[in-house]
Structure 1
Amino acid sequence: MILIELSARQQRIIEIVKEQEPITSEHIASILKVTRATLRPDLAILTMTGILDARPKVGYFFSGKPDVNLFTQEVKGVKVSDIMTHPVVVSEETSVYDAIVQLFLEDVGTIFVVSDGLLMGVVSRKDFLKSALGGSDINKVPVGMIMTRKPNIITVTGEEDALIAAEKIMHHEVDSLPVVEKTIDDGKEQLRVIGKISKSSLTRLLVDLCRGGL
């Protein structure tokens, strides 16, 4: 067993809970001046590993376990490629309406926009909502008009540690990241989409590790 160092924010959460238990996530978020959504991954890790206890309609308690072995040695060998899932992709010419339909059929929060497999952009539920509320004809507007383009897209490679992917998702407050591999196309470096890593896949990894499933 090894000890994984907690982040500064996770350590601060533990201090707050020790001082003010029971305390709700809303109160913790208020003290840290962040949103509840930002805290969810931290609270999930702290409760699933036994450092904190959570009681519905009451709040969080300190479990009395100051040092908890979080994962086995195997965690250091988990790469993004080990847990990535199949990406949902569309072309730039796909209408916003058709992309929204695919978003819900696939039950995902983000769609990647590609051209011949190369990453062109990313579209989230928030982008689709803004477009739909903007009054434009979503049957005629191509998804390429509303997507986030490079270089403003956060990506990971299959060889990066799953922990690095989790940190990127938490820091940038996104639902998922495209997993890419670098390729040369017409003399230029491009990013080919080979997968997706999401909050769901990372949560599944955490559960498996805590239960000894890996």
Structure 2
Amino acid sequence: MQSELATEKDILLSRSLAIDKERVRLATLMTALFYDLATEKEGRLPTAPEQRERKLLSVIGKRRKPVVLFVDEAHDLHHRTLLGIKRLMELVRSGGATLSVVLAGHPKLKNDLRRPHLEEIGARAEVFTLEGIRSHQRQYIEWLLNECAIEGIQPEDVLTEEAMVLLTERLATPLQVEHYLRRTFEEAHKPGFLTNAEKKGVKTC
């Protein structure tokens, strides 16, 4: 989504790069917006609350385009930060501009937004649930092997059909697939394994 929006000329893209989401506050997100939207001539974002808000509104207003802010790992955000985001969006709207915020996170985020103390923001949020690779494990494994293999090597050249079926049935997430594929190949390269496998007619990496 970020890649698609980055090519749009009518929408301004901003991202929060702060890693420790549990310590991210509204001021951090406002700073991210300012860094991505402001020019060098506009100086720095003030630290005093009233001056900071006015400066940020001025910068957003000058751009005359809708702004979208992406926050990853948003399930770790404090509930006060979530409420602050809603109020920031309202403040920008009152200034005649548009700010949308995309919060990406684990299912915990959706559950948090349903809690009574977050009803103020949860009622205004559109929730989209992505099922990941569920029911598409085989396609993901094949894609991953194609991405990692040298040219001319196909997935069936490094995994037997039996192994592919087993991995597809047992694994549910991309992290699991990557972890156990790595372990599979590590086992395949142990001394003596290839010889024994070849004797049995097993195709392996």
Question: With structure 1 as the length reference, what TM-score do the two structures score?
Answer: 0.24
Structure with bigger RCO (C-alpha 8 Å, 6+ apart): 1
Structure of larger gyration radius: 2
Greater share of residues in helix: 2
Question: With structure 2 as the length reference, what TM-score do the two structures score?
Answer: 0.25
Greater share of residues in strand: 1
